[in-house]
Structure 1
Amino acid sequence: MRQDCYGITGTLRHSESTQILQNFAKDPDLKAVLERGLRLLKQQITDMEYIMSEYRLPLPCRPPADAESVIRVEAISDVIFSGVSLRASRAFFPVHIIAFQQSTSAKLRGKFKTFLNREMDLYDKLLVYGQLKGWVDEPPAYRV
């Protein structure tokens, strides 16, 4: 069960960083995509907290309710935020996979599998959006 607990703490940390990115993003469409990701993360956190309370496990500290900043970082563009969001989403795949692999509870494995599938859907949306905006570095085309 200790490995199962790691899944929720990782999700909590991920939600705070997503909220910070959303606060600094300027593009309204990017903000909407990040908001969707944040809603997904909050649902995952709620699900995991419920399961942890059923097992009477101590819950990790929650991040602040709002990661609002008084500083407006104008030098950082939405291109940067988009890239950071993509990398963060991609980096979270192994967290869900490892939590799935190490869980001995069928109920929890089902949750982690759902989390992974939703993360993959979100990543796909972030990638397609970034490509539409021209924010994703595409590999060069090879000619034979």
Structure 2
Amino acid sequence: MDIISIVKKAMGQNERLDIQEAFNIYNLLRARYVSAQTIQLFKNFVHDIDWEMILDKFLKHFEKQIAILEELGEQYRIIMPTRPPLDVKFSTSINDITDDYIYKKIFHDLVAELMSLIHAVRSTSTSDKLRNIIIQDLTIHFEDFDILYKYGKLKGWEETYPVYKTALPHQDEQLSTSEAFHIWDHINLRYEQIELMGIFVNFAHDTEFKVILQHGLYVYNKQVNHLEQLALKFNVPLPNRPTLPVTSPIDPETIKDKFMYRNILSWELTALDNHVRAIIETIRNDSLRKLWSELLNSELEYYDKYLKYGKMKGWTRVVPIYGEPVT
């Protein structure tokens, strides 16, 4: 089932910008300026040719994103941060600045950008166009992050992280302690979401909203089944499963659809944060990081459609408007 079909092709795109979205454009542009300048600086000291090619690829992505953000800032008449120099060049090379050091600095820079981007996705609710632009930037940024991390492992620049230890031997793959935690944490998160949605589905008044909740339960149960098998494979303790939903004796009129919608939306935002953190902190097991990325992409798509549905129903919070684009 596709939730967007339930939305019924909501009326034309709203181009207005709210006050937080105006700040998001400014803040993301400021971060991109710094990231681009950092890469330009470090390119003067790179020794490895392949490493320089990867940095060039990152820089092209940053420059493209900067151009889009600058155009949005101009359209909405937002005061923009100070632009950095066109490039940063040195006439001499400094051997003390190693490729290993540059990798670690770029790695932490990309992580900081990821946190800024996911916050911008979370807080961009008025302009669907802007949210889609930020989601696209986030997706590309994660692809760059994955390339960076795998290259760092290949070159031996990554650190050795604590291994998750159990009494039973692992088969082919090992987990770090953070990776084991995120499997356990995601199972807990989905259990709590499933339990809440199982309760709410009995109280939903709107037929379409009831269908959305039932679809969400189907998706989350499917995901948690996979996570449970991973936990068993890697000997990660499983938490208690949620209680089975029952018909409540409480009067359904006491719980409004808007209240239930907003609670589910809050859990969606929590899930987005958990997926991002899991990707960043999965530093040993590549297949597990791929799973977190797939969950994030699925969650982003579902969140975007769920938010649009709530806006159409008038259930979302209305953030004060900053302005409309210059025509």
**Aligned mates of 1:24, 1:108 — CA distance in 2:** 36
**Aligned mates of 1:101, 1:120 — CA distance in 2:** 16
Query: What are the Cα deviations for residues 85-108 of structure 1, in whole angstroms up to 9, with x where unaligned?
Result: 111111111111122222232111
Moved more, 96-105 or 126-135: 96-105
Moved more, 45-54 or 98-107: 98-107
Aligned to 2:116: 95
Matched to 1:121, the amino acid is E
**Aligned mates of 2:86, 2:150 — CA distance in 1:** 29
1:69 aligns with 2:69: no
1:31 aligns with 2:52: yes
Contact 2:120–2:134 (8 Å) recurs in 1: yes
- Equivalent residue for 1:136, pick from 152, 158, 161: 158
- Equivalent residue for 1:123, pick from 124, 135, 145: 145
Contact 1:4–1:102 (8 Å) recurs in 2: no
**Aligned mates of 2:31, 2:98 — CA distance in 1:** 26
Aligned to 1:111: 133
Contact 2:41–2:88 (8 Å) recurs in 1: yes
Matched to 1:105, the amino acid is S
**Aligned mates of 2:104, 2:92 — CA distance in 1:** 21
Aligned to 2:77: 56
Q: Give RMSD over aligned pairs.
A: 1.6
Moved more, 85-94 or 120-129: 85-94
Question: Is the partner of 1:24 in helix, strand or coil?
Answer: coil
- Equivalent residue for 1:19, pick from 32, 40, 58: 40
Q: How many residues were matched structurally?
A: 144
**Aligned mates of 2:25, 2:86 — CA distance in 1:** 24
Query: What are the Cα deviations for residues 65-104 of structure 1, in whole angstroms up to 9, with x where unaligned?
Result: 1111234221121111111111111111111112222223
Q: TM-score, normalised by structure 2?
A: 0.42
Contact 2:33–2:66 (8 Å) recurs in 1: yes
Name the structure with the higher helix share: 1
Percent of matched pairs sharing the same residue? 26
**Aligned mates of 1:59, 1:139 — CA distance in 2:** 40
Question: Is the partner of 2:44 in helix, strand or coil?
Answer: helix
1:86 aligns with 2:79: no
| Unmatched 5+ stretches in structure 2 | 1-21, 168-327
Matched to 2:83, the amino acid is R
Contact 1:6–1:99 (8 Å) recurs in 2: no
Relative CO higher for 1 or 2, CA cutoff 8 Å, sep ≥ 6?
A: 1
Contact 1:12–1:63 (8 Å) recurs in 2: yes
**Aligned mates of 2:28, 2:76 — CA distance in 1:** 15
**Aligned mates of 1:49, 1:99 — CA distance in 2:** 16
Matched to 1:139, the amino acid is Y
**Aligned mates of 2:25, 2:85 — CA distance in 1:** 23
